[in-house]
Structure 1
Amino acid sequence: MSARATVLITAAELARRLRAGEPLTLLDVRWQLGKSDGRAAYEQGHLPGAVYVSLEDECSDHTVEGRGRHPLPSGTALQESARRWGVRTGVPVVVYDDWNRAGSARAWWVLTAAGIADVRILDGGLAAWTAAGGKLESGAVAPEPGDVTAAHDDLYAGARRTVTADAVLASGRLLDARAPERFRGEVEPVDPVAGHIPGALNIPSAWLLADDGTLLADDELARLVKTVDDGDVAVYCGSGVTAAVTVAGLAAVGVDAALFPGSWSEWTSDPSRPVARGAE
């Protein structure tokens, strides 16, 4: 199986597997900046059998202090949520969203960091499904409880690589996944300080997506990240959500990137940390 196939599933493949009656768990993780609750949109129309997942309440733990705006949940809490979603041992999971792959990439990251196997992102999200003729159903889905087990309780030291605020400056290559104007410090709509971490290179997560919302082809991705060395790259964004899109995109071409979970929101919580502005 290619690296891309371990991270992504196409709408066509998903439809084929569903028609064949293969057991799959579908998770709808709708989330957008400024519109964090996607439940209403989910109930209006979602993939058949898909369960709604709240990025804010189930893929984050806001009781954790000092770790940015979207601290990671514990493996124990994530396990409880995943069982509530119907995630079962040995049954593949497909996560999807309707905005720039942010919600699905976050869910992919936390689930795989907890050691839960065979989790893939629907390439192109909800739009790809409907464009391929996929049907939607309305209302909420209440699945049978799952039995999956999280192998790691501390996702900051789980199955996926992370980097701490103290170590981020020592990263061989640090990528900032935010929009260019936020990176340059011209605007900052969310956090109290504008700018970027010194030494970072700006590759917005949206640049990894084609116009239809699917991940760029492997050769295009390789050209985009040609300065990135495998095993020596870390990614951050505003609070660790859209950076997961970049981590997933790099994983699709075989680059194992680390995530700085607290990202810019954690970095700027300490006024002694340096801030750069302007182009890299």
Structure 2
Amino acid sequence: MKKRPGSSQSNHRPSTPAPRPITPRSRSSSSARDGRVPVGAMTRQRTNSGSTPNLIPNHLMVSFHGNNEMRFEGIAYQETLEDIKERVLTMWLVDHEDSKGHRLRVVFRKSPWNCSGHDMIMARRLLTSLFAVLARSGYHYQTTVNSGNRSKAPRLIFVEPLERHIEPTHFFSVLFSRKGEKVTILDAPEPIKDSIGVALRNTFPRRISSDKIVEDGMCVIELQKSAIGAPPVDKSMFIFAVLKHILGHGYSLNASVPLARRGPLGLGGRKELWIFKSRPLRLD
């Protein structure tokens, strides 16, 4: 176990720039022959213990534990490990970091998976940066397992296809409130932020109570809780309208990230962050 530099500065808050679009890397092979160094390769050469199987995984798993811990399994290459440390972990203060072989365990300060306000903006950008960094390394989100198991943390599984094709990719996050009457959109492209409020007002006339851009350019849209003489808005249709508008601007829902459980003793439901990804351009 080790402390990351600077973790003793309890009052320092790192800046939270919006994640940058990912620049593709010019590689087409998923094997170590493309020049990438497998994690721990030099250590295995020095020790020559034979205790580590000669396997380079092409799947990577990420899980979230408690309110402040993140674990990685299956990190295959040294540059992927370094990118995670440099581009993801620097977005939140780290108390402890433990890396061994293909595993990485990180304990953050405070509670990034169960926070609000500006801290929640920081946590959301950390997670979208995680998707961007893995995309830069050739990984695509595949599925989530253990999502219904209360005794085990959900695991997000990413896969590196046998034929790697990396394109410029942008990610942003969407978070719906527990009751589904409010949505916050963080780091979406300007055309989406500038138009989604008007689109939802046209879809639900006189039923949108708030449509504004707030801290750090986050878009917040909220339904009226009740309207005299009017039936309540179907919350599912509200979600569908948001998804349809985003899809029309070239982004699709890529993943849902389950965070900490809510409620007393952590027995409530999980807050889920939706990650949207730009779709590849079609050259017809």
TM-score by length of 1: 0.27
Determine which structure has more spread, i.e. the larger CA radius of gyration. Answer: 2
